[in-house]
Amino acid sequence: MNIINFLLGSIFGESFIWVPILHIVVVILFGYRLISVRRPVGVVLAWFLIVVLFPLIGISLYILIGERPVGRKLTRKIIRMDREYAAITETMRQRHLADRAQLPPEGRALSLLAESKNGSPVTAGNQIQLFTNSLDILQDFINEINQAQHTLYLEFYIWALGGDADRVGEALIAAA
């Protein structure tokens, strides 16, 4: 018996041609899911290999231990915050559209990069300074807060209470 006929043909009088087709569809859909979650490449390849070799067991294991559970309430909150952030950044982009023309060529490239990554435009009249010490960064924040006359926009990725970051918070409270 030919192997292809065996795999795609009849076994015990039943047609099982749908099994490899279903396997291919499941692997493609699962691969799309893995890519959309944006995990490290090694993790994605490991899960993909498990699912290709052991489809039912692999997908079951992924559902049990591979996915991070996110509740409905948190999901709704994330979606709402994404919409609000998109509206804010769109307003900023429209307001500062003319600023891009005032930027030097390398500044325009930076502006496009910033907009593509987080939606925030780079505006004219700003300066970039690189710091190598976190204490210098916090002290510069405090100095800028103390010198602000009208409005000050700060954005933090992580804010931990305690330590030197509290001085920045105290400066913000004093300036308010």
The whole-model pTM stands at 0.38
pLDDT, tens only, 35-88:
888 788 888 899 889 988 888 888 888 888 887 777 788 888 989 998 998 888
Q: Where are the domains of the chain?
A: 3-66, 70-122, 129-176
pLDDT, tens only, 2-20:
665 555 555 555 666 777 8
Listed in sequence order, the DSSP H helices in 96-147 are 99-102, 105-118, 134-147
* DSSP string of 9-68, one letter each residue: SEETTEE-THHHHHHHHHHHHHHHHHHHHT--HHHHHHHHHHHHHSHHHHHHHIIIIISP
- How many other CB atoms sit within 10 Å of the CB of residue 111? 20
